């Protein structure tokens, strides 16, 4: 089994690099809680490149409007349909924001309407168990962005498996901190990130 390498999606439009500390943080969490053989450093992978298919889990985020190129759209469609897991998180945590509007339009153009992921889904219990999923972020609880608590995540399912997960919860802000800071926290907020990776690698 080859080593898991955390991949950040790089796309032509928007600010794909808006959460620079997140890859390091999730790599740290995977090592901290699991025995998964994880590479100590993440990679950036272009959505239009064939290297996308080297990574079973790809993180995508941003604040700015997202418009896929035809090559990106084609590649993402193939990636998701062939067993990849693309996590897209709205760094604005704002349903009226441009990232949300444009990226959901792109997803629906590529895959059709997304499915609301039931909160009893195994994603929320495949490693850590979350009683009231999906886990909330401080940005939601403190009333930033759209001032909403998003109760569900949306997904593109391929043969019953999540191929694309879309979140308005702004995990990109929540997890964008230096991994060393975890020791000062009573609850590690990145545990859901571990579930995402475990699900992508085992389901």
Partner 1 sequence: MTPLDRVRRAQHWLAATVLVTALLWALALAMAVVIVAIAANLIAPLAPLLRAAIAPTAIGAGLLSAGTVLWRGRRARSLGHVALWVEERQPQLRYALVAAVDPRFSVAELSSELVESASGADVERLVDRSVRRALGRALMSCAVAGGVLALLGPRDLLRAAATDFALRTRSPAGAPMASRLTPLRAEVLPPRYSRLTEQTLVEPTTVSALIGSGVVFKGIGPASGVTLAVGTDVRPAAEGTGGWSGALVMPKDPAVVTLRDRQYQRLVVLAPRVDSAPNVILRLPAHDTTYQTVPRGLLTVEAGATDDIGLAYGYFEYLVSTGSEESFQTAASESRREEFNNARSATLHATINLDTMKLVPGSVLHIRAVAFDYNDVTGPGKGISETRTLRIAEKPDSTSITAAPPLPIDSMWISQRLLNMKTDTLIRAERKLVREEFAHRSSGYSNAQEDIRRRVLAVVALLEDNGVGGSFFTDESKLLRQAADLMWSAREDLGVAQPDSAMPYMKQALKILDDARMAYRYYLRGILRPVVVNIERVRLQGKDSTATAPLLPRAVPRDVRAALAARIDAAARLYQTAPEAAMDSLTYARVAALTAVPGVAAALDTALTQLRRGAAIDSALARTRRLLEPPARVIAGPPDWQAGGVER
Binding site for partner 1 (CB under 8 A): 8, 10, 12-18, 20-21, 23-24, 27-29, 31-35, 38, 40-44, 63-65, 67-70, 91-92, 98, 102, 109, 122, 125-129, 159-161, 179, 187-188, 191, 198, 202-203
- For residue 129, the minimal CB distance to partner 1 (Å) is 5
- For residue 21, the minimal CB distance to partner 1 (Å) is 7
Concatenate the DSSP letters of all residues of 133-191 into one string: SSPP-HHHHTT-TT------EEEEEETTEEEEEEESS-HHHHT-S-GGGGGG-SS-TTH
* Length of the chain in terms of residues written: 203
- For residue 190, the minimal CB distance to partner 1 (Å) is 10
- For residue 30, the minimal CB distance to partner 1 (Å) is 9
Q: Using the minimum distance from each CB to partner 1, give the nearer residue, 77 or 191.
A: 191
Going by C-alpha positions, the residue among 30, 27, 35, 83 that lies closest to residue 55 is 83
- For residue 116, the minimal CB distance to partner 1 (Å) is 21
Q: Using the minimum distance from each CB to partner 1, give the nearer residue, 8 or 137.
A: 8
Q: Using the minimum distance from each CB to partner 1, give the nearer residue, 9 or 86.
A: 9
Give the span between the Cα atoms of 192 and 123, in whole angstroms.
Answer: 9
Give the span between the Cα atoms of 154 and 171, in whole angstroms.
Answer: 14
CA 183-188-62 angle, to 5 degrees, is 115
Which residues, in sequence order, are CB contacts of 22 under 8 Å at separation 6+? 8, 59, 61, 172, 175, 176
- For residue 110, the minimal CB distance to partner 1 (Å) is 11
- Contact present, 91 and 139 (Cβ < 8 Å): no
């Amino acid at each position: 089994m080859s080593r898991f390498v955390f991949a950040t999606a790089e796309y032509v439009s928007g600010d794909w690099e808006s959460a620079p500390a997140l890859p390091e943080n999730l790599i740290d969490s995977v090592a901290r809680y699991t025995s998964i053989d994880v590479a100590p450093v993440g990679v950036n992978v272009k959505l239009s490149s064939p290297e996308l298919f080297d990574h079973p889990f790809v993180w995508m985020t941003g604040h700015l409007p997202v418009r896929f190129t035809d090559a990106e759209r084609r590649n993402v469609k193939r990636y998701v349909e062939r067993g990849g897991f693309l996590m897209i998180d709205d760094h604005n945590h704002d349903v009226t924001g441009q990232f949300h509007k444009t990226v959901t339009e792109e997803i629906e153009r590529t895959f059709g309407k997304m499915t609301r992921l039931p909160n009893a889904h195994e994603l929320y219990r495949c490693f850590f168990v979350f009683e009231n999923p999906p886990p909330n972020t401080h940005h939601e609880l403190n009333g930033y962005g759209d001032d909403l608590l998003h109760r569900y995540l949306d997904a593109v399912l391929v043969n019953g498996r999540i191929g694309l997960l879309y979140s308005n919860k702004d995990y990109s802000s929540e997890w964008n901190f230096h991994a060393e800071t975890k020791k000062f926290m009573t609850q590690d907020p990145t545990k859901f990130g571990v579930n995402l990776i475990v699900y992508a690698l085992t389901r």
